[in-house]
Structure formats: C-alpha cells, structure tokens
Amino acid sequence: MERVRVGTIGGGAFGTSLCVHCSRAGHETLIYTRDEGVTADINNPQVKENKVYFKGFRLPGSLRASTNLLDVVAHADLLLLCVPTPYVAATLEKIRDHLQPHQVLVSCSKGILNETLETVDKILERVLPVSLHRRIAFLSGPSFAAEVAREKPTCVTIAARDLAVCKRVQMLLSTGRFRCYRTADVTGVELAGALKNVLAIGCGMVDGLDFGGNGRAALITRGHSEIVRLAVALGAHPLTLSGLAGIGDIVLTCTGDLSRNRTVGLRLGKGEALEDIIASMKAVAEGVLTSRSAHLLAQKVKISTPIIDAVYRIVHERADPLATLDQLMSMDLMPEVDEAVLAASTATHLLTESHDPA
C-alpha cells in the first residue's frame, strides 16, 4: 500500500480519530491543533493523549502535532480539513496561498453556513482558486470518531468531481477496518451529511420526550423524505440520499448514543435550555446552526420540510417541543408518496405490459 504524508487541520474528535486511522494505515501523520497544551501532550511519549477533545485514548507513537498551521500544510501530500463549518472559510484563507499543486485536500466537515447557506464544498470553491478545485475531495458517511479510532468496522463515502482524485483518496484512506466508497455526487454527499444532523436533533427530542420506537422510526422515515426532497431540489442525485452519506449517517446519528446532535435533542426534549446544553458541551453539534440554514434553504427553493422546520422552531425560536410534535402529528392528512409521481410510474408499468408481444 502506498504511504504518504498526511496533515490534519483540526484537533477535535474527528481530526484526532482520522489521524489515529492514518497513522495506523502507515501514513506519516502530523496534526494541527490550536492549543499548545494539546500539542505538547500529543508529542510527549509519556502522555500521547488529546485530553481536550479525545480523552482516554492513547494515540499512536508515530503521530506528531504542531501549532504551526503552515508547517502542517507544508508537510502534507494529503490534507484533511476537520474544522467545524463556521471556521472553514477563515482556515482556508490562512492556507490557500501555501497549497501546492500536488496536494489533495479532503474536507470532512458536515454543515451549512447560516449567512450564505453554503455547504462546505461551496465554501471551498468560493475561497480557493479555481486551479485547485479539482484537487478537492469530501469524506462523509456514518463514522463516529470514537469508533474510527477504536478500529470498529466503518464504511464512508469519498466524493470528488475529479475521478482520479476520488480514486486516489479512496485508495489512500481505505484499510481492512475503514472502507471507502466513491461517488461524483459532491452536492448530494454534502447536503446529506449536513442535513442528517438536523434530523438527529429531532430524533433526540423524540427520545427525550419518550415518544417510543414508533415515533423515532416515523421521524427518521419522514425526515429522510424531507432530506431527499430538499437535496434533490438543490441538485443531489436521489440515490446518494439512500447511500452511506444519507440513510447510513441518518441511522447512525439518529440512534447512536455517541451523537452530539442527538444528545442536544435529547436534552432539549427533557426540558433543558439550549444555552445550558451548549455551555456544557466542549464539542460542536453542527445541527444547531444547520437547522436554521436548512429551514431557510427549504423556504428559498419552496420545498415542504415540516420536520426540519419544527427542529428549527424548537432550537431557535424556543417553541415548546411537545406542542410542536403534537402539531406535526395533526397536520392535514396526506399521501405518503406524491400521488402524481406514483400514478406516472404505474402508468409506465401498464404501458410496458400492454406492449408485451406474448
């Protein structure tokens, strides 16, 4: 297997876990962290721990850290960008003039900006020169940091507009415990990764309110329909939303106790205030900000997203969770699948039968 030099920007949970993975895969890995103390701990053979964002996990001896962002950029053949969405543009502005033509940048963030309603691919394409756009890939799919680091079997999707770049990243990051699939549907993968966080908050609320397994399954299914409608209206391929970045990550974050987004919803459902929940969490739950972006995007493209809107209202307008969920259950009764779509496909089927030569 080919070994390269990996640089990771972002010493949070996911950046740290991907570094563990890359070190284990034999890549020479250097992580950028903003905190001198975290860097010193990672570089100290007696400590080898990220005590702020990845407590209790002993990091590989070969993994090194630096607080010098440009040293990490200069080190890397493959650069993993693992900062929360609100910090992506500022981070790129610091590094864009130092990127070299042979480098490939892999974005791992899952969010949509409030101000511009951009997914992370759009932020990269805005901030980076056009000459670098074909060197960018995106990693998404069900992959809790703690499980990646502990070598639990994980499958993710790598998206890129350039097939050669996509295949190279897929090959460099895949191991016997971390299997990468590939796709050209960057738009679909980016929207899926961001929107599932909103659904995870909603699922947490359902669980916090003790609505039971039926309620959770209903929210996942109807929420997935909303994500499909919205993402397809914004240019995604529908099949991507049934893939790892779509249904795969929805299942994980809507049901997994390790999800920060689900935890936010759970605590909101139990009656805690958002400010208290956020103040008590070191980690970022991207769905909090993305719920506003998703609600605005749906309005912009005139797509009905009652569950996303409900999450937005509870999170940002202090709507009462129980009353909001009651409203969802008493909406006008409607067909499960658009009747015109269903009728069209049935007609096609009948037409095919009537032309059967037998």
Ligand X SMILES: O=C(CO)COP(=O)(O)O
In the residue annotation, 282 being an active-site residue is answered as: no
**147 contacts 178 by C-beta, under 8 angstroms:** no
Q: Which of 111, 208, 223, 246 binds ligand NAI (CB under 6 A)?
A: 111
121 near ligand NAI, rule: CB under 6 A = no
Q: Is residue 32 within the footprint of ligand NAI (CB under 6 A)? A: no
Structure tokens at 5: 């030099």
Identify the residue among 187, 261, 290, 324 touching ligand X (CB under 6 A). Answer: 261
Shortest distance in whole angstroms from residue 349 CB to ligand NAI: 40
- Say if residue 145 carries a ligand binding annotation: yes
Pick from 6, 13, 158, 294 the residue near ligand NAI by CB under 6 A.
Answer: 13
Which residue of the set 94, 122, 196, 282 is catalytic? 196
Q: Which does residue 119 bind out of ligand X, ligand NAI, none, counting CB within 5 to 8 angstroms by kind?
A: none
CB of 10 to ligand NAI, least distance (A): 4
- The reply on whether position 269 binds ligand NAI by CB under 6 A is no
How many alpha carbons fall within 13 Å on the CB side of residue 28? 8
Other beta carbons within 10 angstroms of residue 267's beta carbon come to 20
The identity of residue 96, as a single letter, is R
Residues 36-95 close enough to bind ligand NAI by CB under 6 A: 53, 82-85, 87
Instruction: Tell me the closest approach of the beta carbon of residue 201 to ligand NAI, in angstroms.
Output: 13
Q: Would you count residue 143 as binding ligand X (CB under 6 A)?
A: yes
DSSP states along 203-262: HHHHHHTT-HHHHHHHHHHHHHHHHHHHHHHTT--GGGGGSIIIIIHHHHHHH-TT-HHH
H helices within the chain, ranges in order? 13-24, 36-43, 69-75, 88-95, 120-127, 145-149, 163-173, 186-208, 212-233, 249-255, 260-269, 274-280, 287-300, 306-316, 321-329, 339-354
Kind plus residue range of the DSSP H or E element containing 106: strand 104-107
Contacts with ligand NAI by CB under 6 A lie at: 10-15, 34, 53, 82-85, 87, 108-111, 143-145, 283-284, 286
Residues labelled catalytic: 196
Contacts with ligand X by CB under 6 A lie at: 110, 142-144, 197, 200, 249, 252-253, 259-261, 285
Annotated binding site for substrate: 110, 260-261
